[in-house]
Amino acid sequence: MKSNDFLVLNSLSFIERTREFIGYYETVELYLDNDIAGKQAANWFMKNHKNCIDRSYIYKDYKDINEIWIGRK
């Protein structure tokens, strides 16, 4: 059975600190905000780490992953 880890970034300013961890994983799923900064960060991750996948399309009509959960009430 595979286990999963989660890393929550409260700010995109923490991106550089993730570099040491990203390479440990076969796949890294990104659930970043659907704004310019979130898209730029997702593009940076995918450009610099081939194991990253942008999953923000799942909540494309929402600002972020939290809003989709609030919207499902």
Token representation of residue 68: 């989709």
Per-residue pLDDT tens digits for 14-66:
888 888 888 888 899 999 999 999 999 999 999 999 999 999 999 999 999 88
| The predicted structure's pLDDT at residue 1 | 58
Per-domain residue ranges of the chain: 32-73
Token representation of residue 8: 């929550």
| The predicted structure's pLDDT at residue 8 | 79
pLDDT over 70 (residue 72): no
DSSP code for 54: E
CA–CA dist 61, 7 (Å, integer):
23
